[in-house]
Structure formats: structure tokens, C-alpha cells
Amino acid sequence: MQAWKLGPALAMGNTVVMKCAEQTPLSALHVASLIKEAGFPAGVVNIVPGFGPTAGHAVSTHKDVDKVAFTGSTEVGRIVMTAAAHSNVKKVTLELGGKSPNIIFSDADLDFAAEQAHHGLFFNQGQCCCAGSRVFVEGKVYDEFVAKSKTLAEKRVLGDPFDLKTEQGPQVDDAQLQTIKKYVECGKKEGAQLVTGGKQWGKKGFFYEPTIFANVKDQMTIAQEELILAKQIFGPVMSVIRFDSMEDLIELANNTMYGLAAAVVTKDIDKALHVANNIRAGSVW
């Protein structure tokens, strides 16, 4: 995320003031040390740790800042946009939330599709704005895909993120862990089938098992909500949704307030292009 924000701005000759998420200041400060070591002139890159109402507000309202780019929750995005408008009407780019559809057609290589879907969601403990948390699978291969996904999830190695053998570390904090628990319980109550996972892992830390729900209906809460901070399942929870026709697929995939990203897995290029052209998403893989 830091490279994504810093690279284009610096390449075009700008200076940057970066306010990182309050839960993760150390990675940003380590990057700052590398930038200094690389010989960047003083003041070109500035890392400002802190909380949203103080550090974030200062960046958004400062009259010498010409543009703000923010990735995070919809609620905070509204605050950033309002603050920018009330200061010097600076330009704003917002990337807010995500419930990205990952679409698997029956002609796809299912082993490859399952691996890609697995990585596309469980990467970084599901804490990624473009994570493919809604997986749409064509009915002909639905059960087979769910079985393959279950096997992959149960093989996933949880543990110390500094151990090179570890594939999944902890969630960012206890608040996020509790929110994930709440939405998993909600999925059970609404009738989704818990295939694997569904509980905290280990006796210490904020670990949560890789979790898969099958027979999910797109109107269920777990298919619509995502947990960044207070409201967005920003965690390792996959919802697998069946589709049987192209028309149903497009409608279901677009049935979300978010539109950050999407993915299509098929051997048919015409089918892939048709879906990509009809999905409301900023990026389609």
C-alpha cells in the first residue's frame, strides 16, 4: 500500500506526507528509514504516525496540501472529503471498502481457480481492500470447488508472521477479531453452511481460522458487509455463492455498494471480456 501511494506521486516530482493506519505505524516508519538510507533529500517523504482525528485531520485540512489520496473505510472517506472541501478544496482520491467478486466458470482449471481464490482472499489475513471475499462459482463445479477450497484452507499454516513457514498471521487488533467473530455468527444464523474454520485459533494473539461459508445467498449479511474498523468482514472469511446463468451472475456480482475490484477465471476470452465489461469494478483481473 505504501509503494502504491508513494511511487506515482514521487515519480511525478511531488513531495509526500503519509499518514499510515494508527494500528500499523512501524512498517511505515521502517520504510521511512529505508528512504533515508537510499539518499532521498530531506522533506521529500514525510511519515506522520498518529490518530485520525489529529494527524489525519491535519493532513486533510492543511492548505499547503494540494491532493489527498485515502484508502480505507467509507465512513472515514466521507470525513476526509468533507475536510478537504472545507479547507482549500484540494483534490481527493478515495478507495473505500471492498466486497470484490471473484468469478469462477465451469470451464476453468479448478485447481488453479481454487489456488487463486484462496490467495486472493486469505492473503494478509483477509485484510486487503480488494480481497475477493465473494466467490461466485458456476453450479456445475460448485461442490468440487468448495471441496478443493476446504482442503486448501485446512492446510494453511497459522503462526508467528516472522516465521518463514507461516502463511497467515494474526488480525490487526482485538477489535477486528471480535468483529469477525460477530459476522461469522451472523452467517450461521442466516443459514449459510460453515464448511471449515469459524473460530479463533490458538490461546494467544488475534488469530482467526481460515473460514469458508457455502450455500451463501447474496443478500446475506456476510456477503454484503465488510469490516474495516467498525463496519467493514475484513478478515479470512470466504463466501461461496452459486450461479447458473450469465444474467444472474452479472446482477449478483454487482449487488454491492462497493466496486473496487473483481476477478474472472475462465478459458473463454469472450466470456471473460463480457463479464469484465459488465462488472462495476475499478480493476478486473
Report the alpha-carbon distance of residue 93 to residue 95 in Å, rounded: 7
Phi, psi dihedrals of residue 64, rounded to the nearest 5°: -90, -5
Question: Do the Cβ atoms of 183 and 225 come closer than 8 Å?
Answer: yes
The rounded distance, in Å, linking the Cα atoms of 100 and 149 is 18
199, 203, 206, 211 alpha-carbon torsion, rounded to 10°: -20
Whether the CB-CB separation of 245 and 275 falls below 8 Å is answered with: no
Residues in the chain: 285
- Full strand arrangement of the beta sheet holding 261-265: 193-196, 211-214, 237-243, 134-138, 101-104, 261-265, 283-284
* Cβ-based neighbour number of residue 219 at 10 Å: 10
Whether 138 is a known active-site residue: answer no
Q: Which of 95, 209, 225, 226 is catalytic?
A: 95
The catalytic residues are 95
